[in-house]
Amino acid sequence: MDPIALSQALMRTKSITPEEGGALDVLEAALKPLGFTCHRQRFADVENLYARKGTAAPNLCFAGHVDVVPPGDIAAWKHDPFEPTIEGNVLYGRGASDMKTAIAAWVVAASRCATQGSLSLLITCDEEGVATHGTKMMLEWLEKKGEKIDACIVGEPTNPNQLGEMIKIGRRGSVSFSLTVSGVQGHVAYPEKAANPITPLINLLQELKATELDKGTEFFPPSNLEITSVDVGNPAGNVIPAKAEAKFNIRFNDVHTGAKLVEWVEKLAKKHLHSIYNLQPSISAEAFFCPPKKVAPLVADAVEKVTGKRPEYSTTGGTSDARFIRHYCTELVECGLINETAHKVNESATLDDIRALTDIYEQVIKNYGV
């Protein structure tokens, strides 16, 4: 099997989240001749796939997603984003980085290896969306079936600039806030007859932003709060508005929990916002960390053997489905391609990197003992 050809076959499918677009059909056609038993499960509008070869323990699972983000302005692309095109050593197309190529690399690596235990794949079409009916529900379904995953490799693109730089052994948590502060509209010349919601909102945001949440830990960078939106919707320069709105997000390490950060924000909101306000928090992920025991060093060894570089253990970046999987297995590592062009126009990956990632995965499978 050729990882480039399989990557292109997957990339030709228009699997814009949460649509499957035929991508899972391509995967099944590649996996069944290798001896994998495939199970398709649909939850709401999301199609998912679990494939396993072998029944014995340990079960080494590869997790990923075939759904991709929309291409945006197709006219801005060098080539049709769903007609994967090779120019020199570069493969262009949506999913080249994130992450159809990694899925292809794992399948081809699996085709090269004899198994003593089991190999499996957990693939969703809901990672780039709300992530409600994909990996999370599949894991619950697998648990009810008595299916056990011992270790998991997640194929998200983990390298900033070069293959071999970085693998993930955890992720930061994420909590978002939507805040509306109500006031009383009035003329700017008569502020005593109005209540300006902007002033207390600015004071709150200023204190939130100025607070140092922590200094970071051994494997985590410092937590950070970013204000993402401040809206008043007031076109008049001589009118005090009736309300002001803001949105902000905290990416936090394992010093915190989402609930504790919500409690902190609510306390400051009560301090600053004496008028009527509505604060809506949403915790999308808790910070987690998987200590590098067997699998992380094994993956790092494979990366070093193939690329000549020893990868850094990292917890940077956004969230991924690893936040769900880590509850169901002993060890978890994220290892994939370069993320520099992920979600961008002209998303791409080099052919050399795709082949090297295939070799890395092959080493991981062989050295894991399956």
What is the CATH class of 3-171+288-368? alpha beta
Distance CA 120, CA 320 (A): 19
Percent of the residues in the chain that have a pLDDT greater than 90, as a whole number: 96
Q: Is the pLDDT of residue 53 over 70?
A: yes
Q: What is the mean pLDDT of the chain?
A: 96
Query: Do 3-171+288-368 and 173-285 share a fold?
Result: no
Contact status, residue 123 vs residue 47, Cβ threshold 8 Å = no
What is the CATH class of 173-285? alpha beta
Q: What is the pLDDT of residues 101-121, one digit of tens each?
A: 999 999 999 999 977 789 999
| pLDDT score, position 370 | 55
Percent of the residues in the chain that have a pLDDT greater than 70, as a whole number: 100
| pLDDT score, position 369 | 76
Q: What is the pLDDT of residues 142-194, one digit of tens each?
A: 999 999 999 999 999 999 999 999 999 999 999 999 999 999 999 999 999 99
Domain ranges across the chain: 3-171+288-368, 173-285
Would you please indicate which residues are annotated as catalytic (active-site) residues?
67, 127
Q: How much is the pTM? A: 0.91
Q: Is the pLDDT of residue 8 over 70?
A: yes
